[in-house]
A and B are shown apart, each in its own frame.
Chain A
Amino acid sequence: MSGGSLNRITTIARNTFLEALRQKFINVLVILAVALILSANFFRQFDFGSSELKFITDFGMGSILFFGSILSIVATAQLFFSEIENRTALTILAKPVYRWEFIAGKYLGIFALLTVFTMLMIGLLAGMLSWREGALMERYPDDFAEGRLVSYGGLFAYGVLELLRFGIIAAITMFIASFSNTNLYTVIVSFFVFVICQLQYVARDGWNDIGNPLLRGMVWVMALLFPNFQMFNVAELMIFPGEQTLAAASAWGIFGYGIVYIIAFNALAVLAFRGREI
């Protein structure tokens, strides 16, 4: 990649990120996510003891996944189609800019937005957990005889994996946007694909029971085409490393799996966008 390319990609990425920060919908989404994580504070009224930390984590991670997925899909579709519909893409692509540079710049801008969102949420959740854990340690010292239950390093490491999951969703949305004509179509189809990816493990389980080799092959291809998001559901293993922990190799494996899908879907987006008439 030439220095010129890098400069153009970062300029487009920076502009996309700044444009995202100005979108009211995105700001509302972030505020809602923050409010939901902070509302986990009300769990203390149920007096769960040390289990409260797991409730807060589940609730917080659920909120992050819910709002992060919406953000990944809607922000990608919105920021892509605003360029097409307002014809700013026409002005940019009439410059000596390759189409892959445009896609890469847009994607990196969106990924920067998702990074800020995820790290903000994880930071808030870490703050909440730390505060409650401190209070619970004083109240139930027996439960914490072996020290803190929450691994904050694990929490942030899990945040990175969650970010990669959002990165895959954004890359899928970018691919769909690269050939579709409307924002709405892109959002709807992307949500369907997201649900398929979330439930893909069901197909994987069923695959083992299929006798017909043709059908088995088809299911295998589908399972390869849609990333298995179930792989990313390792929050408890990483944040509460008790008897069961996630090996570092497994975490790196999930990381690599995410990166491969991000690159693959962005490459498909570039291929589809190359033939698109602006």
Chain B
Amino acid sequence: MQTGGSRSTGKLLMDRSSPGRMGVVPPPLDVPAQEMPDQALLRGNLDLPEVSEPEVVQYFTNLSQQNFSIDTQFYPLGSCTMKYNPKINDEVSFLPGFAGIHPRQPVETCQGALEVLYRLQEFLARISGMPAVSLATLAGAQGELAGVLMMRAYHQSRGDAGRTKMAIPDSAHGTNPSSASMAGFDVVTLPSDRAGNVDLEALHELAGPDMVGVMITLPSTLGIFDANIVEVCRVVHEAGGLVYGDGANMNALLGRVKLGDLGFDLIHSNLHKTFSTPHGGGGPGAGPVCCSRALAPFLAAPIVTKDAKKKAGDDAPEYRLAQPEQSIGKISGFHGNFGVLVRAYTYIRTLGESGLKSISSNAVLNANYLMEALRDIYLLPYDRRCMHEVVFSADLQKERGVSGLDVAKRLLDYGYHAPTMYFPLIVHEALMIEPTESETRETLDAFIQALRDIDRESQENPDLVRQAPHTTPVSRLDEAAAARRPDLRWTKRE
């Protein structure tokens, strides 16, 4: 979208600055001025912009319009569950009784907030089939870090010090090996078999007294429900290891199966994926950890406890913050991303059991619909029933000189966000598509048509696809140059 004058976004804030302009005028001082400190402690120049309020509003509004977003476009983006974010969730999180409370205020003055957290802990426990929950972790990757530290603490508490190897499937998200490494473990790769399941033979070889456990994403990043999952858990447990579940793909399983029932010992859940907190251009999220009774003492602090013996009229607060007895410790500044947790509570409370189940139903239905509609054009490296997402390969198109990246970029011209590309790493030219439950059949049909049209273009006019996108605010950007000579901030023009 084009806009002129000071509404154009071409100039950065510092270059729009005009001496004396202010966006906000602070109130006058209402106490007698106090003695100022030593001049040497005070800063001289403060390079911040000088712009008026209308300029700020125009600049940021125009910037916003250069984004794709869930409210404006369809995101067929695998493993990220870009679903619709109900507006009521945002609204309640902004209530002054939530947004305006202090994390250190006395528990007597924040019982409502603690009750929401306590109930959310219960909800997540019931959904995951695991009795204990900590909400303190601020994102999925932080949930993973807390989880692997818990696995470490658990083994240590049993005097089982020789466990150093974490087995992680070759299809896993990068955060899994990275988190395991931050917890001091050596990462060993667990291969997938030809059907996309964990290779049981390889697992048997790895399972031993030096194995911490495994980190499994279910359904896997191939969009597949691992047919061997119960056996995987059994083998790992028999070797004395623990099974960690990456909950990134929980959208497929809501109300359909509880990971705790399958044998998982602990999982994290991504509230900004499954439970619909808006993605915010890259956060905030939240990554609560749910675990078995055996691991509960090691959960990150704090957790919220309820005084079950409290009687009516009793003055003592019903809900409190507590530290589990052998906790891995504090992992965030306060009690977790409360504003996100309120949204997730609202979402689950609104849907109830039947609503949650209809989410997984529609998410899986939509993904399978896409799979069937496109399988004659795009290769299916794992040709079997998919769950909430389907992974295609653009190998056929690649032979014609049009890569998966090109196809994805061309989709931007059709008004769709790109699928996840080149992931999982074990699929050539991967195009990973997760439609979520939010999309109508009309949208899915139009999207299918777009992918068919692009395939046709790749035969008739490959350059059109290779040079896409053509209609976006900028075309393909020179990422190599950006990395070679990093320009990471505004600097004063000479």
A binds B: no
Interface set of A (CB-CB < 8 Å, partner B): none
